[in-house]
Structure 1
């Protein structure tokens, strides 16, 4: 969730000492590279990597879905624009080149009642020229509206081969909603105290990023500074057991799991930090602390042979005193 530094200061948000943003440090062998800025945004919110390696990014300050090429020589392209909304949050792919995006109108840290919707973006027949001209536009359609949504934020598919259902975190209500993208039907399937907002001392953002691996739902709670998991039914989406804490994560936003589900890389929003969690051991370490990770908010795995051991990070940079969204690549010396 993109939060301006001024809001941190206004609320007196205190970061723990391990998350100081002034130092540039990295784990041995890890390199960070800025890929490209995205004009028209003050920061990036979420991202999804296409099978061809192109990266789709959303922004909390824009109703436009952008595509960023891993090649720094190519400028970002507009993929789709969503009418009637001003902000985009979560994005997930359910079929090859068929993505779903959350759009809403924000006021402070809550959505305007009735403004939240889930949109389908079909890129299978779309085409954009190298100069950014749309030859065949993406097919964009509204799946459903959510009249009572608080702050729909993170999103993932319910199960690995499920092309019909997504899970969405409501950071305001502290709940998880299941949506059938074929029918538009939705229901709240998880409401747990570990997902809720419990303190007024920290920002009122509960469950944030979420991802499913096998029959476990992993999630970050920004307000409670925790990374946790809960076993779920892959048919109903409901919890089948208690929540288990995995690590303390300050200002944790969104994250990605390793392909085998044993590690997580979490973007800490504000401290300019990328944290790696060893899930079986319940340990964590900072693998990157750099100004390249300004307002880091989400992480995704590379999908081609050239970036198989790389992560893409949604972040920002400062250009002439103004923040602008920036995609950053982190190359690791070990398998992800």
Structure 2
């Protein structure tokens, strides 16, 4: 069976951030604006919705006391943000931010809804498994995914280990000494396919776990899907059967099949040859306008904060990425 043709890819900056800003994760709101976590700066930002081809000015939402990583919308305009100082102190929280009726520039009132115990090393990506249920990656040794059950209005929570697996561990012997390369990093749940997918940066793999649709607990063990190095976060196209993975230090966006035994079909979509627009891509989500799913995604970059190509730092950015069928030659 022939492989699905690789699409044409158009990259366009939507907003720029200063050099050495580490944009980590993002969530697109219903109005098309984009929430972005800046992990090292400990800040949450919003980029207002703009027409395709135009630029926007980012607006600071809130500055935190600890590193900020994952962000997930758990109710309309209610977001849970992962705040962590795990590598240094193991202090990690889930913070509720309600943007209903909020106007950019106004203050917000973050609420800590859960504090993890000291088993957590460092929170990373997160996603919804179902209404009021989050999966949250804990990316340093031994590495695990937590299940978080939210209370009414997402104002309280309980948590337990959802799954541990060898592929979730970090690499203490990595050439990158401090902190080590994370293990389990990005997590995304595909309800239609029935699997939670995750990347492990240190172990250089893309994995999946079957999910019981009733309990939302694992229905089996972790399964190898494909080998991929430098993988960070990703988005999933259930219709096409692919994940689109940001390779952070390698400066590419790759297409990875969602089914095992198709690892040879992993392809670079952008960044090879090197493209200055795509330096340090860290996460990807689909837009929410009609027709965006499977076609228009938003990608964060750090401009080379963690691994500057040729020693040159660029501005961090939010990109709009459009996939379109490749014209036949």
Bin of the TM-score, shorter chain as denominator length: 0.7 to 0.9
Q: Deviations over 1:18-53 (max 9, x none)?
A: xxxxxxxxx653111111112486220000101111
How large is the Cα RMSD of the aligned pairs?
2.5
5 Å-filtered alignment, 1:1-336, equals 29-39=8-18, 42-71=21-50, 72-82=54-64, 84-85=65-66, 87-105=67-85, 110-113=87-90, 115-128=91-104, 133-134=105-106, 137-148=107-118, 149-159=120-130, 162=131, 164-172=132-140, 173-182=142-151, 183-197=156-170, 200-201=173-174, 203-214=180-191, 215-234=194-213, 236-260=215-239, 262-280=241-259, 281-282=262-263, 283-289=265-271, 290-305=275-290, 307-308=292-293, 309-317=295-303, 322-334=313-325
SS in 1 for 2:277: helix
Q: Is the 8 A contact 1:199 1:224 kept in 2?
A: no
Q: CA deviation at 1:177?
A: 0.6
* Unmatched 5+ stretches in structure 2: 1-5, 306-310
The gaps in structure 1 that reach 5 residues or longer are: 1-26
State the distance in 1 between where 2:158 and 2:270 align: 41
Other-structure match for 2:308: none
- Once the two structures are superposed, residues 178-199 of structure 1 have per-residue CA deviations (whole angstroms, 9 ceiling, x without a partner) of 1122232111120112222367
TM-score normalised over the length of structure 1: 0.80
Secondary structure at the residue paired with 1:185? strand
Whether the 8 Å contact between 2:13 and 2:55 is mirrored in structure 1 is no
Residue 69 of structure 1: CA displacement? Answer: 2.8
> Which deviates more, 171-180 or 138-147?
138-147
Q: How far off is 1:298 after superposition?
A: 0.5
**Matches of 1:274 and 1:40 in 2, distance apart?**
21
Question: Equivalent residue of 1:260, what SS?
Answer: coil
Secondary structure of the residue aligned to 1:194 is helix
Q: 2 CA distance for matches of 1:118 and 1:235? A: 25
Which TM-score applies when normalising by structure 2?
A: 0.82
Q: CA-to-partner distance for each residue in 1:6-28, whole Å, 9 max, x for gaps? A: xxxxxxxxxxxxxxxxxxxxx65
Residue number in structure 2 paired with 1:3 = none
SS at match of 2:185: strand
For these two proteins, the number of residue pairs brought into alignment is: 294
- What's the counterpart of residue 24 of structure 1? none
Q: Which moved more, 1:181-190 or 1:94-103?
A: 181-190
**1:88-130 deviation per Cα after TM superposition (whole angstroms, max 9, x unaligned):** 1001111111111011236xxx1422x21100111112113xx
Deviation, 1:233, is 2.7
How far apart are the structure 2 equivalents of 1:261 and 1:220?
19
